[in-house]
Structure 1
């Protein structure tokens, strides 16, 4: 079951506190999920706002280190 279905099940069951906790966990997990993708010669570049993000080995999004 995906998170949207879990959330709707909690809301329909009247479990507001559990639904809010699930929303907070989902929001924290997707904090750096990209909102914009640009194509470059080397491949796709992902951004969250004006910050560049990359996927780590675990598949989670994190802010990219600044180039020096």
Structure 2
């Protein structure tokens, strides 16, 4: 179903990957091990999550 209302400029900024990367960078600077996940939710297209310290699977650090 298409989104009936376009995003406001502030919401568009808050939903951007650049904003998620800045927040994740600040969290990493504070000592947290975090990653950015992509979601299908248009109001939260990027989610920052703490990664487990002993993850069984390898982490993807960069994507093309």
TM-score of the aligned structures, taking structure 2 as reference length: 0.34
Answer 1 or 2: which has greater strand percent. 1
Q: Which has the higher contact order (CA 8 A, sep 6+)?
A: 2
Answer 1 or 2: which has greater helix percent. 1
Which structure would you say has the larger Rg? 1
